[in-house]
Amino acid sequence: MLKEAGLFGSIDKVNEAIQFLIDLEPPEGYWIAFSGGKDSITIYELVKIAGVKFEAHYNFTTIDPPELVKFIKDNYSEVQIDKPKESFFKLVERKGYPTRQCRWCCDVLKEQGGSGRKIVTGIRKQESVKRSKRRMVEFCYKKKNTIYINPIIDWLDSDVWDFIKIQKLKYCCLYDQGWTRIGCLFCPMAGRERRLYEATLYPKYAKAFVLAFDKRLRIAKDRELRSAKRFSSGTEMFDYWINERHSEDPDQTVMFE
Ligand code: SF4
């Protein structure tokens, strides 16, 4: 248990999370869903303090900020980096772009692995309205015999940062550049402004999107899909997508099968 409160306002939350991990430890050990963000490094530290058995996995999506991937490789070499069968861009060629309403990419790139295991996550209620309804222990409705364990579900941002400070944990440099959350680049959930900002920061990725959309359009043309008539180039399609014009579009069925 953590004995010294130091900067940490609520030592009870730390001790509760640690005790919780000890009490629920499965014989085969936990599967840690590690993203490299502040919440993940917190749960990683907590499982280490708890002294429980675990293996940590990072789902490499191929649209991760390079700074984050470097941070994980430099500081968490024991975390297994799981690579997808197809890159995000290949998937876009095949499936079209993801949107807020149709986030096929999370399913394929982020939620693989850990079936039949107790998966420890760093999700917290404070992160979103949807997450505010989540609980500390949840049975997965998609994967059989899989249980999600969310030890820091009630922690606030300030609790996480206090813990990181008191434990002197290294964290990804993007936080010091003003990022409050770190995840996939150009995530449809991030909102238009954020994605436009990322396009200026990561022009090579923006270019890769345009190329993938070009290829997608060629496929759409071969299959005589309506999208082939809608866009004249990958650039036009990228502009439409990143500016979220599809959300105002009465003809949303232009989304691809
Ligand atoms: S881009 Fe967003 S929706 Fe897609 S996998 Fe990443 S986090 Fe999930």
Q: Hey, which of 64, 99, 109 would you mutate to test ligand 1's pocket, going by the most ligand atoms within 8 Å of its Cβ?
A: 109
Percent of the chain exceeding pLDDT 90 equals: 75
Query: What is the per-residue pLDDT for 123?
Result: 96
- Please give the residue that has the higher pLDDT: either 38 or 133: 38
Q: Which two tokens stand for residue 191?
A: 């909102």
Mutate to test the pocket of ligand 1, among 103, 121, 205 (most ligand atoms within 8 A of CB): 103
Q: Distance from the CA of 7 to the center of ligand 1, in angstroms? A: 34
CA–CA distance, 202 with 199 (Å, rounded to integer):
5
Of the chain, the percentage scoring pLDDT greater than 70 comes to 92
Would you list the domain boundaries of the chain? 11-177, 191-244
Q: Whose CA is nearest to atom 1 of ligand 1?
A: 187
User: Quick check: 257 pLDDT over 50?
Assistant: no
Q: What is the pTM of this model?
A: 0.90
Q: pLDDT of 54-85, one tens digit each?
A: 999 999 999 999 999 999 999 999 999 999 99
- Check residue 8 and give its pLDDT: 61
CA dist., res. 38 & res. 17, Å (int): 16
Q: Provide the 3-class DSSP secondary structure of residue 118.
A: strand
Start-to-end CA distance of the chain, whole Å, equals 51
**Cβ atoms 36, 65 nearer than 8 A:** no
Q: How far is the CA of 66 from the centre of ligand 1 (A)?
A: 16
Looking at domain 11-177, its CATH superfamily turns out to be HUPs (3.40.50.620)
pLDDT at 103: 87
List strand residue ranges (DSSP E) for 109-193, in order. 118-120, 137-139, 147-149
Q: What is d(CA 18, CA 14) in angstroms, rounded to the nearest whole number?
A: 6
* C-alpha 121 – ligand 1 centre gap (Å): 16
Distance (Å) of CA 134 to CA 10, 37, 128, 257 = 21, 19, 10, 31
pLDDT at 152: 97
Model confidence at 246: pLDDT above 90: no
DSSP 138-150: EE-SSSTT-EEE-
pLDDT band at 5 (very low <50, low <70, confident <90, very high): very low
The residue assigned the tokens 């238009």 is 192
Structure tokens at 247: 């959300």
Q: Render pLDDT for 87-131 as a digit per residue (tens, 0 to 9).
A: 999 999 998 889 888 889 998 999 889 999 999 999 999 998 889
Q: What is the pLDDT of residues 9-50, one digit of tens each?
A: 578 899 999 999 999 999 999 999 999 999 999 999 999 999
* Residue where the block lists tokens 């222990």: 137
**Residue 67 confidence (pLDDT):** 98
Whole-number Å distance, alpha carbon 26 to ligand 1 midpoint, is: 29
User: pLDDT tens, 176-225?
Assistant: 999 999 999 999 999 899 999 999 999 999 999 999 999 999 998 888 88
